[in-house]
Structure 1
């Protein structure tokens, strides 16, 4: 064997050993990749179309209840306000003037009503006095009747005795005539006195009717004035309500998130938004997702993270969160998802209401091989252009 042959055989042996090693290395790598692709799951995330930090309480708009000129304002973005605090006052001068007019009218009615009430009391007291007086006169008339009847009875007895004496010739005819005349006079007096109680009762009834008419007229005037006073009182209450409505008060305590630049003298329109109040509360994350990505895939309890715009996640990290609620209705082909921020984390950036970002929700853990097969199946099942 020549030196060339020995060299050629040595080269063949070295090449054969290197091929075996390369093949073994390739098979080991392929086996390792297949084991990773089938045994090690990876996380799948759904990324929101948009997201931002919000308070768990809704913002309250501050609107102008009327169109008018601003006479007082304390709107300043960022200021703290208390519930019921007056922030803007709209000119209420016409209502205030009318209210003062109605108050003057109400004040003027009070003494008139008092005068009529006093007059009513006087009329009722006079009626009672007249009735008592009429009763006393009736008793007095009955006494006079009894007195006249007694005198008449005496005169009648006297006339009978005189008549007997006249028959016996013991009394002159003139005395008999005088006795008869006295009897007739007393009888006439009794008749007159007996008519007096009826006349008194009739006169009193007439006075009572006249008095009742005056009393009813006074009462109707009092009722009319009382009704007018009640109407004025209702008008005053309504004007007070309208004046109060022109004071724009804070519907809830919190911080003024935004405000319209208002100055005294500016004119606002009815329903115009003057600002919004952000109540105190805990921060949460609100994100929106396409409906196919949300329904059936995003559920309460899933872990998520939010990357804030303006704070690079590589430097500041992400905000860890958990899904708390998924809306059941679609709006503009989007579904709202709410998440609460995990408490057990250290944040390197301040969190404030309104900060935007993107939310990634872990919806599934799947092996890479299964994911590859799923993607291939989706690609094959997708409709292709140009084919029926």
Structure 2
């Protein structure tokens, strides 16, 4: 009698346990490999910045008005190349310029007046010296005349005495003795007059000297007063010059005008108002802002990083390799600043320039997947304070 289901019976006869066994062995090997990778493999842990941007190595210089005034000239345009010290914007300083001209005119009149008074003082001093010499000569002449009169008076007295003696003896007439006495008295009076004249000449010379000295001192006081006015005018001129210079906005560094306020001629600006921004020439760096918990003690100089630019999809343009060069030690606005040096050959088709935004990720350590899972589970189990900001999540990538 023929057997039913011949094909089924034959298939069951040929079917054995080899194929399931091979499948189980392959699954076991895959599971063992996955467990080995999970326990002993290494993955890189990345921290992603809250924000990042390209900046020049020297900080961009904002330009602000130092005083409140009106715009006199504003020739600035975006992208303009400037050099340090170039005049960028001129504010109205007409009142200060008028005062400056006034003080300069005043100083110009004071300087020759002071020079003229100094010449007058010198002339008076020379005249006083000559006056003293003349007075000394006149005094010496009066002294000589006084000595001459004294000698004549002495001779007259001696002649009077001798004639009196001879008159008493009858040798000469008595009238001769009287005449000799009168002559002696005359010469004595002349000597006294000459002595008085000598004293008068000395007194007048001293009075003229005092008068000339007083005149010289008066002129010197006037000179000192004018010199004080000249110094005050010079100080005022210097202050007005500085004030006028404060009305001129100059480029602090050489670079490119990256931002300009829309201000037309005649517009009013306040002190401290930002007018433009100058981006200096130089190499570019990457600046990233991280939460403190992700940076402090974890990111160090020399670590590798990758920058993704917001305007250039990384799948098409790739990422820019970089390395950490500096890490700030203080928190500002709840974030920590980290500076990176971009790779010289990492830009590819990108044209890097100041201000490009993006995000940067830093490889901070390598751990096994098991450690990473345990660490993540520990974070989920630990409640965060209500006011604490959420930290950036760890991203992993296999080597």
1:47-126 mapped onto 2 (5 Å cutoff): 47-126=48-127
3-state SS in 1 of match to 2:276: strand
Find the counterpart in structure 2 of residue 165 from structure 1.
Answer: 166
Deviation for aligned residue 1:340: 0.7
Q: Judge which range, 292-301 or 374-383, deviates more.
A: 374-383
Instruction: Note if 1:291 corresponds to 2:292.
Output: yes
1:122/1:374 CA distance change after superposition, 3 Å: closer
Deviation for aligned residue 1:51: 0.9
Mapped to 2, the partners of 1:104 and 1:332 lie a distance apart of 54
Deviation for aligned residue 1:34: 2.1
Deviation for aligned residue 1:93: 0.9
- The number of residue pairs the alignment matches comes to 383
Mapped to 2, the partners of 1:139 and 1:378 lie a distance apart of 118
1:13/1:35 CA distance change after superposition, 3 Å: farther
Find the counterpart in structure 2 of residue 185 from structure 1.
Answer: 186
Deviations 1:261-315 (A, max 9, x none): 2322222111110011111121111112222222333222111111112222222
Tell whether the 8 Å contact from 1:75 to 1:262 is kept in structure 2 after alignment: no
1:380/1:211 CA distance change after superposition, 3 Å: closer
1:116/1:19 CA distance change after superposition, 3 Å: closer
Deviation for aligned residue 1:95: 0.9
User: What is the root-mean-square deviation of aligned Cα atoms in Å?
Assistant: 2.3
Tell whether the 8 Å contact from 1:113 to 1:225 is kept in structure 2 after alignment: yes
TM-score relative to the length of structure 2:
0.89
1:1-388 mapped onto 2 (5 Å cutoff): 3=3, 8=9, 11=12, 14-345=15-346, 347-381=348-382
1:358/1:148 CA distance change after superposition, 3 Å: same
Tell whether the 8 Å contact from 2:319 to 2:346 is kept in structure 1 after alignment: no
Deviation for aligned residue 1:12: 6.3
3-state SS in 1 of match to 2:15: helix
Deviation for aligned residue 1:361: 1.3
Mapped to 1, the partners of 2:56 and 2:72 lie a distance apart of 33
Deviations 1:179-225 (A, max 9, x none): 11111111111222223322222222222222222221111111111
3-state SS in 1 of match to 2:17: helix
Mapped to 1, the partners of 2:333 and 2:116 lie a distance apart of 73
3-state SS in 2 of match to 1:189: helix
3-state SS in 1 of match to 2:359: strand
3-state SS in 2 of match to 1:298: coil
Mapped to 2, the partners of 1:14 and 1:372 lie a distance apart of 44
List gaps (5 residues or longer) in structure 2: 385-399
Mapped to 1, the partners of 2:383 and 2:156 lie a distance apart of 144
TM-score relative to the length of structure 1:
0.91
3-state SS in 2 of match to 1:70: strand
Mapped to 1, the partners of 2:20 and 2:2 lie a distance apart of 27
Mapped to 2, the partners of 1:89 and 1:207 lie a distance apart of 62
Mapped to 2, the partners of 1:282 and 1:101 lie a distance apart of 49
Deviation for aligned residue 1:2: 8.0
Deviation for aligned residue 1:325: 2.0
Mapped to 1, the partners of 2:139 and 2:272 lie a distance apart of 79
1:255/1:175 CA distance change after superposition, 3 Å: same
1:376/1:204 CA distance change after superposition, 3 Å: closer
3-state SS in 2 of match to 1:179: helix
Mapped to 2, the partners of 1:2 and 1:373 lie a distance apart of 66
Mapped to 2, the partners of 1:5 and 1:243 lie a distance apart of 114
Deviation for aligned residue 1:100: 1.2
Tell whether the 8 Å contact from 1:75 to 1:260 is kept in structure 2 after alignment: no
3-state SS in 1 of match to 2:252: coil
Deviation for aligned residue 1:343: 2.6
3-state SS in 2 of match to 1:315: helix
List gaps (5 residues or longer) in structure 1: 384-388
Mapped to 2, the partners of 1:91 and 1:379 lie a distance apart of 63
